[in-house]
Amino acid sequence: MSTVERLARAYEAAWNAADMTALAALNAPEVHWVNVVGMHWQGFDDVARAHEVFCQSMFKDAPIRLEAIESEVALPGGARVAVIRWAMAAFQAPDGRAFPATRSRMTLVLVPRGDDLTIAHGANINIDPLAEPHDPIRAG
């Protein structure tokens, strides 16, 4: 199992167990995060707190499932960029809107920490199922 897959599996396990301590432990101290609706959190404490708030509320009963590690690119110094595809169960937003099960692509910039990698930057983008068939690269 690659270090990227190990990190993705640890992320999945921590999210699904609602273990925000384990989820936060995957982050570098200087981590930045852009979520699926464009919120930008900067620094370990803010990223950990935001994930904790949302995972205890709207995502409380919304497990994720790793679908694929779509790409990994090596960067100087042992860093990597990875694109990971996830499936998420249905959930309800804080304003009461219900969202069906979704899929997303998460881009991570990962930096070495010992024999593992840690998240320096994360961005998650929902996959639009209506647009997906029109992808000029992957469309039939």
> Residue 38 belongs to what domain range?
3-134
Which pLDDT does position 140 carry in this prediction? 57
Q: How far apart are the first and last CA of the chain?
A: 31
Which pLDDT does position 76 carry in this prediction? 95
CA 97/CA 103 separation, integer angstroms: 18
The DSSP call for residue 114 is T
CATH number at residue 54: 3.10.450.50
108 neighbors 82 (Cβ within 8 angstroms): yes
Look up the pTM and report it: 0.92
Which pLDDT does position 8 carry in this prediction? 98
Tokens of 39: 């919120």
Domain count, the chain: 1
Q: What is the mean pLDDT of each run of 10 residues along the chain (140 residues)?
A: 94 96 96 94 97 90 96 96 97 89 97 94 94 83
Half-sphere exposure (CA, 13 Å, Cβ side) for 91? 19
User: Is 35 a member of any domain?
Assistant: yes
User: Is 7 a member of any domain?
Assistant: yes
User: Is 140 a member of any domain?
Assistant: no
Q: Token match 């982050």: residue?
A: 27
Tokens of 51: 């994930």
CA 34/CA 47 separation, integer angstroms: 9
Q: Tell how strand 116-126 and strand 27-34 pair up.
A: parallel
User: Is 139 a member of any domain?
Assistant: no
User: Is 121 a member of any domain?
Assistant: yes
CA 104/CA 91 separation, integer angstroms: 14
User: Is 101 a member of any domain?
Assistant: yes
